[in-house]
Structure 1
Amino acid sequence: MAISFEKAFGMHPEAMLVRDRRAQVLAENIANADTPGYKAKDLDFQQALNNAQARQAGAMQRTHEQHFHISTASRHETKFRNPDQPDTGDGNSVDIHRERNAFMQNSLEYQASLGFLNSRIGGLKKAITGGGQ
């Protein structure tokens, strides 16, 4: 009997890829906090996850049933963020406190998905090897 990783893991692998991409976008914002004219960006997580789910549903066909399905968030899901504070005169829209908070929240959510996947993998491994012998 074959194991369906897509059924076992759900959308967590896709969510981790989207969270990884969001971490990159937020890190770019933090790195450019003092760059004149830089506009803060963010990833629309829900849109990216929906797009990943659509890609998983069949946009990319596998040529063999044992091949893994891998997709990543596209740049189209990255949007400029509306600034929360008035322009300081240099045209930069990065609020460093907001970026750090978003980065930390994203990191915690990434770790939660990673913990879930580790638990699932442990359960599958136990099922395959016959338990805790």
Structure 2
Amino acid sequence: MAISLDRLAGFHHKAIQIRTDRMEVIAGNLANANTPGYKARDIDFQSAMKSAKYAQKHSLDRTHERHFPGSMQTNSELQYRIPAQPDTGDGNTVEVQTERNQFLDNGMRYQAGLQFLDGKFKGMKKAIGGGQGG
């Protein structure tokens, strides 16, 4: 029986990728907290995961080497953040405390995802090794 790493960790790997992208977006928001006119952005994690799940189920297989590889992913997950505070006059929508909280929350979820994947791989390694070693 063949071992499929995509079946083992593919979906969780995608979650880690989305969390990484989200960290970059939030870090960009924090870096531009004092830039006039900058609009804070964020990745809708739930929407991105739904898109990843759909793409995983509906991936297009190439039946001939001259066919173009297909992909059905969109960038609709990257959105502007709606500010909770009124505009201060410079048009910047970054709320530093909100961004920090989102960054920390995303970081903890990223770590949890890595630990989950680590456990999956350790379990696979143990199964391959016949339960010996660790």
Please give the TM-score of this superposition, normalised by the length of structure 2: 0.85
Q: CA deviation at 1:6?
A: 3.2
- Rate the CA distance shift 1:62–1:45 in 2: closer, same or farther, 3 A: farther
Pairwise CA RMSD: 1.9
1:77-119 CA-to-partner distances (Å, cap 9, x unmatched) read 1001111101111110100000011001001001101000001
Structure ranking higher on relative contact order (CA contacts 8 Å, 6+ apart) = 1
Q: Structure 2 CA distance, aligned partners of 1:127 and 1:13?
A: 21
- Rate the CA distance shift 1:7–1:62 in 2: closer, same or farther, 3 A: farther
Q: Structure 2 CA distance, aligned partners of 1:45 and 1:61?
A: 26
User: Which is further off, 50-59 or 84-93?
Assistant: 50-59
- Aligned positions, number: 125
Does 2:46 correspond to 1:46? Answer: yes
Identity of aligned residues (%): 49
Q: Provide the residue aligned with 2:15 in structure 1.
A: 15
Q: CA deviation at 1:54?
A: 1.2
AA matched with 2:127: A
Aligned-partner SS, 2:58 = helix
Q: Provide the residue aligned with 1:5 in structure 2.
A: 5
User: Which is further off, 1-10 or 82-91?
Assistant: 1-10
Please give the TM-score of this superposition, normalised by the length of structure 1: 0.85
1:20-73 CA-to-partner distances (Å, cap 9, x unmatched) read 11111101100100000001111111110111111111334378xxxxxxx9x7
AA matched with 1:34: N
Q: Which runs of 5+ in 1 are unaligned?
A: 64-70
Q: Provide the residue aligned with 2:88 in structure 1.
A: 88
AA matched with 2:89: G
